[in-house]
């Protein structure tokens, strides 16, 4: 389990997360953000308690993404399966996600909401993950964003699965900082 508290002049985010599953409780003051974070946690198989507040909706969504990514970076086991991929239909929407939690931060994707595109980018980069999101089709913005978040959650569940060995031709990466 990882606990994190992040405070700036604009936001406060407090969370605890466990890749081994459990209950989910989210309160951000933004109902759609609550819904997307709860959805991500459920589909990824995570236990999550998150409380956040902020001055502007943009700052709140961005800082929740940063905080989730930072905590998930710590939760990812060195011997994780590393890769995950999923396609999710939601009514008229269809979205695909592919993730690599191997420590190479990168985001590629287009959502019909710049805020939620920024949320996923902030999460992926702070997690040290490569995340590709593709909304294949859809007309309802809510369904398109939610299908993408569900696909990411399912892909993340696969990628975080403990495999018992490092899945890389490089082996473990040792890094020393002074």
DSSP-assigned states of every residue in 26-40: EE-S-HHHHHHHHHH
pLDDT per residue as tens digits for the range 37-87: 999 999 999 999 999 999 999 999 999 999 999 999 999 988 889 999 999
- Tell me what pLDDT residue 92 has: 98
Provide the number of structural domains found in the chain.
1
Q: Is residue 169 part of a domain?
A: no
CATH number at residue 132: 3.30.230.40
User: Is the residue at 176 inside a domain?
Assistant: no
Please check whether residue 93 lies inside any domain of the structure.
yes
Please state the pTM of the whole predicted model: 0.93
Q: Domain range for residue 156?
A: 2-160
DSSP 91: T
- Answer whether residue 167 is part of any domain: no
Q: Name the E strands within the chain.
A: 2-7, 11-18, 24-27, 47-54, 83-90, 93-100, 106-110, 130-137
- Whether residue 142 lies inside any domain: the answer is yes
Q: Is residue 173 part of a domain?
A: no
For 175, residues 6+ apart whose C-beta sits below 8 A from its C-beta are: none
pLDDT digits (tens, 9 = 90+) for 113-123: 999 999 999 99
pLDDT at 142: 98
Q: What is the pLDDT of residue 174?
A: 57
Confidence of residue 162 (pLDDT cuts 50, 70, 90): confident
């Amino acid at each position: 389990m990882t606990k994190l508290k992040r405070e700036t002049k604009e936001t406060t985010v407090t969370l605890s997360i466990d890749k081994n599953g459990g209950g989910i409780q989210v309160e951000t003051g933004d109902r759609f953000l609550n819904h997307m974070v709860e959805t991500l946690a459920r589909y990824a198989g995570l236990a999550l308690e998150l409380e956040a507040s902020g001055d502007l909706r943009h700052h709140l969504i961005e800082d929740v993404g940063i905080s989730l990514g930072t905590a998930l970076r710590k939760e990812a086991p060195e011997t994780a399966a590393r890769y995950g991929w999923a396609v999710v239909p939601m009514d008229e929407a269809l979205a695909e996600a592919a993730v690599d939690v191997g420590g190479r931060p990168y985001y590629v994707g287009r959502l019909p909401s710049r805020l939620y595109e920024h949320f996923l980018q902030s999460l992926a980069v702070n997690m040290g993950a490569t995340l590709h999101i593709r909304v294949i089709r859809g007309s309802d913005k809510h369904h398109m964003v939610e299908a993408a978040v569900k696909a990411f959650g399912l892909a993340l569940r696969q990628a975080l699965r403990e495999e018992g060995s490092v899945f890389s031709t490089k082996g473990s990466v040792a890094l020393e900082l002074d």
